[in-house]
Chains A and B, each alone.
Chain A
Amino acid sequence: MLTLTCPYCGVPAEETELSPGGEAHLKRVGPGGTSQEFEDYLFARKNIKGVHFERWRHAYGCGKWFLAARDTHTMQVFGTYKAQTAHATDEIVGNARQARPEWVPDWPQPSEAVVG
């Protein structure tokens, strides 16, 4: 069974204790958004086979939303982090790159040297 550690209450929670919330770090489209942007926000998903960032809620625990990095093919969990974070932490990126050396984060990497 998938086990994720809630970054707020520190409890290692089994998947039956959690509610999944889909892909993380989606940017909400404003009132002036185009139909294309709105479609992307609502429906277009990366659906990665590999390193995936996603939202979870500790539904039967502290009730808070958090984020997790997980390999959708091997089910390896690279780490969990708080929802108010723009990107996964360097430690999680390091874990992911150790398991999948070919994977590169799709956001700017100021701390390239740390994860290298």
Chain B
Amino acid sequence: MNGSRAELPIRKLLTIGLLTLLLIAALAPVLCAQTTASTQGATADTNARLAKLEQQAADAKSSADNAWMLTSAALVLMMTGPGLALFYGGLVRKKNVLGTMMQSFALMAVITVLWGLFSYSLAFGPGNSFIGSFHNLFLNGVGAAPDADYSATIPAQTFMIYQLMFAIITPGLIAGAFAERMKFSAMLVFMILWSILVYDPMAHMVWGKGGLLNASLGGRFPTLDFAGGTVVHITSGVSALVCALYLGKRLGYPKEPMPPHSVVLSFIGACLLWVGWFGFNAGSALASGSLATSAFVATHFAAATAALGWAGAEWVRNGKPSVLGGISGAVAGLVAITPASGFVKPMPALIIGLIAGVFCYWMVVKVKAKFGYDDSLDAFGVHGAGGTIGALLTGVFAVSAVNPIFKDAQGNTLASGLIEGNAHQMLNQLVGVLIAWGLAIVGTLIILKVVDLTIGLRVSEEEEVQGLDLSQHGEEGYYWEASASAWPAAPALHREESVRYAEQDLKRT
């Protein structure tokens, strides 16, 4: 009994145990499969979430870069209008203030149209070593998707509009050389041709894919030009000198006094240029990271020492530091640091600025006076000279710690400039400078000749005496109310009447 009673639970337990084992054995594959499936499911889920996170991080970087690049584009446009317009407008005589401002403003409109139709494609489209192509004609293929060759994180359209602002200001700088004497129509034709024949090829050579001088996309002579020392300042400054020589002096120069009519306007313009230059140089990082910061700092530092250099040179020579000297120096320093801004550290930036400030002062005050050319607003003395010295000093002070632009086949960073032991870079910088000089001289001479022979370059003597404001635009910058009250609305009527009478006369004869 006891035994059978005792057996019963054991047998029961054995049976249950066996059944459980059988059940487990039967279900094992299913359970295992379920475990694997859930592990696999978890991995897939993690991958998806990672991919999503990576996408979100990339989107965030893209948004940050895009925000800075659109801001920079706006800042660079502000350099032309009102920056350059005020800077130049203040330096001319009262009767030419509007004509001078209009030269800057007209480019904001005209170059924009060219850029959209074909110039962007000529400068940045795929092409040969010297010029792009019509691949992106009418901005075809320039949309929301980034162009990884230029910048992988911003829409190609952002890159396009940012580069447009450079194409606008560059010819605008030349206008300083032929101020107060060029016909508005001739100026427009000259600028259009110059933009196509000089700016677009130069921009392609230095910044375009496959360009001869491109440092990051495999150029034959990799020239370091971060934001346009060669492309913007040497081309415009040297072309300015050619214009000044070809057009000749203003009537009465240098006997008649032609002081700036408002250094106040020039002062406001120069300060706007200084601020806008942060978009010009720091924006040339094409992203909002630490390289942009480095370029921002270098830009600011060079402007400071150049202002001190120019004004200081005046103080020593004339006994007084002038406001115009201070702001001219700042602009000269900003010009010189432009090619270097994304390659040099802050202390070399201070040196570059100081050298540029003193050098440009000497070019404007001594060299111009010695040769006697009428570079009216010193476009060559500041942009040509400052751009050249800046491009060469970039080869001296560029360091790979700021911008590891040169790499060997294994991806190791190579030395950048002379102070890192890369003396060969000086040669590349020289090649870039010489090509910019050559293209500017030849291109500008041809264009001037063509415009001169077709529509003529200069206003008539009478118009020059009257001033560009009245003779070219029929307006005055500073209206004297007394002269208005003497002529109420009548003149328009008179004009219509006289045209009618003239037509009647013609019919009779």
Q: A and B from one assembly?
A: no
Chain B: residues with CB nearer than 8 A to chain A?
Answer: none
